Amino acid sequence: MARVTVEDCIDKIENRFDLVLLAAHRARNISSGQPILVDRDRDKNPVVALREIAEEALAPEDLSEDFIHSLQRHVEVDEPEAETAPALTPAVGVDLEGEGQFDRMTEEDLLRGLEGLVPPAEVEDEAE
């Protein structure tokens, strides 16, 4: 097979900069021992990587994801969320069936309750 050129690969990966990045990443993977997907034909790893891209032996999207993953320092793992914490045990006599229900107080009831209270300044005066 003749040497691969950029024109053979540019229809698979349109951006030449991306093509160089992904081919270099694939060549490094081949150097580190990943299996080759095309015949080597005494070609060096960068040429083999370009031939793999030209022959569509691997998907450019997969190669791009692998490249991004290799550059990440912190990888978030989607783990199932922890179960909700168990509710605290209710105090004796508390009814859980009426969740969110509060005693309602009218304005008149509030005013009647406040009439019997002594302001703090008067309490100090009475203590002297």
Q: Give the tens place of pLDDT for each residue, 65-96.
A: 999 888 888 767 777 776 666 665 655 555 55
pLDDT tens per residue, range 25-71: 999 999 999 999 998 888 899 999 999 999 989 888 999 999 988 88
Show the 3-state SS of 15-49.
Answer: CHHHHHHHHHHHHHHHHCCCCCCCCCCCCCHHHHH
- The residue count for the chain: 128
pLDDT of residue 21: 93
Residue 6 near residue 46 (C-beta atoms within 8 A) = no
pLDDT value, residue 27: 94
Of the listed ranges 10-14, 34-38, 99-103, the least confidently predicted one is 99-103
3-class state of residue 25 by DSSP = helix
Mean confidence (pLDDT) of the chain: 80
Q: What is the pLDDT of residue 78?
A: 77
pLDDT at 1 over 50: no
CA atoms within 13 A on the CB side of 103: 3
pTM: 0.54
